[in-house]
Amino acid sequence: MGRLSPLGRVGLWLANLAALAFLVLPLLPVVLGAVQSEKSLQADVRALLPRQTTLANFRLVLSGGATRGPIFEQVSYLPKSIERFPAAFLNSMVVAASVALLTLALAALSAYTVARLDIRWVRAVVSLSLVARLLPLIVLMVPLYVLFRRYGLLNSLSGVVLAEVGFLLPYAILILVPYFASLPGELEDAARIDGCTRFAAFWRIVLPLAAPGLAACATIVFILSWHELLIPLIVVSRPEAMTLPVVLAGLVSDYFVFFTLMMAICLLGLAPTLLLVLLLQKYVVRGLVAGALKG
Amino acid sequence: MATLEPRPTARSREPSAGALAVLLNLPAGVVLVLVLAWPVLYAGWLSLHEVSLRQLRSGELPFAGLANYARLFGDDVFWLSLRHTVVFVAVAVALEVVIGLAIALVIDDERVALSRLTRVLLLVPWGVPPVVNGLLWSFVFNAQYGYLNRALLAVGAIREPVNWLGDPTLAMGAVVTAYVWRTTPFNILLYHAGLRGIPRDCYEAAAVDGASGWARFWHISLPLLRPVIAVTLILRTTFAFMVFDEIFAITQGGPGNATWVAGWYTYRAAFQPPFNIGLGSASAWVMALILGAAALVYARLVGRRLEA
């Protein structure tokens, strides 16, 4: 493309500013809400910036309600979500990491057969995954609740992990197939000529070469698991097994809402996946594109 | 005496490609059958039975024929929820496509340095958990303390605070806004990838011929993006049809019934008193049938590329 006229340059700058405003401006209220006290938020309902800032909300949430400090000393009611936050954060980490690893392992095996073994029935795996990916989650959750109830999987993290692995597996296969298919076949052929079995060629040659694809897939699955509300909401009702989205959802029906505390919890809840998205952007971007367009 | 027979290697004992394919697909297959296929069929079975907490406790689920479906189709709230869903999907998907295309075009032009920052922050909304997204917008739209009213009051656009979530139309608009904000980056990303695939020569040739920026978009970018747009239309329509988290966190279906959508209806039927799981299963199956059609179109669209 040629050089921009000065006017075109200004226009493009403004367009970028508008795009940036769309992308990040809605997060500003979260930050502004989280760094002030409820009293300061309510003092002037027309003020945009807080009168004074404090980290008391974060201290309270991170300590599970133990570190009250001067702001919360007099408060008689605190949302249950505050007390449950630390354990739920840990549960979410355990669940998301387990789901990412398990899904990746199962999906890699299947995706390899689709991309590398020329077998008619295996191709149907992709079509089935495409259809399964668009299955409404709620259709799954109504019967899973009944089944999990019968087999004692309610209120357990393993139940949550199992349901999430099943739900995310088709998508993970869709992300990995194009990666495996794009690897040069010659290396695998050479290994086979040197006496490698097909599985050894997969294990020693294809998997290491597909590392960026595996990283993309694991990151995306981790993020989606961290975000998942409906599955743990239905599987878990005991506080000890709640994941972060369930604890966050508990804030909705609270009879008294502290918006400042809510925003502090939100900020802590969105931080892990926002960081992952920004740090591993290259992988996430390629994985999302591969999973949507390349089948 | 030396034999000429080759040493038995790992190769000679290896399973055929077909056997290996069965073996490697077995783990995923077992999980998919147990956690996807069986439950979906089981939901169909449940929808034909009388199932609520009492029956679950006793373990006996009496056959109910099509009673659940009769009740579902006789329920005004179900039809209302479907109508709301159609409106929600139409508005949300249209916005996702238009805003997605606009931002993709902006970041595709790398001639200003700022576009690099836009590309880096492209996925920020996608990284926000849906339930957090709901809570964050419920704060933004809050009538008393929300930042939307603060901002509008500050610039003088309104004189008195607006009760965004108290008005049926505004509340639907609020939910759509929140949902569109979180989901548009996915579209931007795919359109951006699609635009990257268009050879720059096309634009240069058009520019030499004197085509304006608009003409280049209309006659080159848009036609070449059509397959990508088709994929996003199907994906976004399906996902918008299932919207749940934002409804849960922002309006809980309110005010009144104003933001009841299909997913919320199903959830409420099955998991809120009186826990009518049979009715919930029937509603879930109706949703699955509607979306099944979309899924088949999608599988054909993307599947065709795989064959090619």
ipTM of this predicted complex?
A: 0.94
- Per-residue pLDDT band at B1 (split at 50, 70, 90): very low
More confident residue, A3 or A143: A143
pLDDT at B50 over 70: yes
CA angle A111/A116/A118 to nearest 5° reads 110
What is the rounded CA–CA span in Å between residue A173 and residue A176? 5
- Would you say A173 and A112 are in contact if contact means Cβ atoms under 8 Å apart? no
Most confident by average pLDDT, A5-14, A193-202, B182-191:
B182-191
What is the mean pLDDT of the segment spanning A21-34?
A: 96
Q: What pLDDT digit, counting tens, does each position of B100-129 carry?
A: 999 999 999 888 999 999 999 999 999 999
Query: The pTM is what?
Result: 0.94
What is the rounded CA–CA span in Å between residue A2 and residue B260? 51
Three-class DSSP category at B49: strand
Q: What pLDDT digit, counting tens, does each position of A105-119 carry?
A: 999 999 999 988 888
CB contact under 8 A, A149 and B189: no
Domains of chain B and any CATH numbers: 39-74+273-308 (no CATH), 77-257 (1.10.3720.10)
Backbone angles phi, psi at B63, to 5 degrees: -65, 135
CB contact under 8 A, A293 and B231: yes
In which residue are the tokens 């996807």 written?
B36
Q: Which contacts of B267-275 are long-range, i.e. CB under 8 A and separated by 24 or more positions? A: B267/A138, B267/A230, B270/A142, B270/A145, B271/A145, B271/A234, B274/B52, B274/B53, B275/B52, B275/B53
Q: What is the pLDDT of residue A2?
A: 65
Probe site for chain B from A45, A46, A95, A138 (most B CB atoms < 10 A): A138
What is the mean pLDDT of the segment spanning B21-47?
A: 93
Nearest CA in chain B to A247: B131
What is the rounded CA–CA span in Å between residue A170 and residue B109? 35
**Chain A residues in contact with B174 (beta carbon < 8 A):** none
Q: Nearest CB to B271: which of A128, A234, A284? A: A234
What is the mean pLDDT of the segment spanning A92-98?
A: 98
- Domain locations along chain A: 83-258+271-294
Q: What is the pLDDT of residue B308?
A: 41
CB contact under 8 A, A33 and B139: yes
Q: Going by CATH, does the domain composed of A83-258+271-294 fall within 3.30.70.270?
A: no
Q: Which residues contact A282 (CB under 8 A, 6 or more apart)?
A: none
When mean pLDDT is compared across A80-84, A254-258, B54-58, the lowest value belongs to A254-258
CA dihedral B12, B16, B21, B26 (to 10 degrees): -70
Q: What pLDDT digit, counting tens, does each position of B221-273 carry?
A: 888 898 899 889 989 999 999 999 999 999 999 899 999 999 999 999 999 98
Q: What is the pLDDT of residue B57?
A: 87
pLDDT at A183 over 80: yes
More confident residue, A271 or A135: A271
- Per-residue pLDDT band at B158 (split at 50, 70, 90): very high
Nearest CA of chain B to the CA of A56: how many Å? 19
Q: What pLDDT digit, counting tens, does each position of B163-214 carry?
A: 999 999 999 999 999 999 999 999 999 999 999 988 888 888 888 888 787 8
- Per-residue pLDDT band at B307 (split at 50, 70, 90): very low
Probe site for chain B from A12, A23, A164, A204 (most B CB atoms < 10 A): A23
Q: Nearest CB to A288: which of B40, B189, B207? A: B189
What is the mean pLDDT of the segment spanning B50-69?
A: 90
Q: CB contacts < 8 Å between A and B, how many?
A: 335
- Would you say B262 and B87 are in contact if contact means Cβ atoms under 8 Å apart? no
Nearest CA of chain A to the CA of B25: how many Å? 5
Q: What is the pLDDT of residue B143?
A: 92
Per the DSSP assignment, residues forming a β-bridge with B63 are: B49
- Per-residue pLDDT band at A235 (split at 50, 70, 90): very high
Task: Identify the H or E element spanning A64.
Answer: none
- Per-residue pLDDT band at B8 (split at 50, 70, 90): low
pLDDT at A27 over 80: yes
Q: What is the pLDDT of residue A245?
A: 97
Q: What is the pLDDT of residue B303?
A: 64
Number of neighbouring beta carbons within 10 Å of residue B12: 10
- Per-residue pLDDT band at B304 (split at 50, 70, 90): low
* CA distances in angstroms from B94 to B118, B137, B203, B230, listed in the order given: 22, 20, 27, 12
pLDDT at A218 over 80: yes
In which residue are the tokens 């603060």 written?
B150
What is the mean pLDDT of the segment spanning B294-298?
A: 77
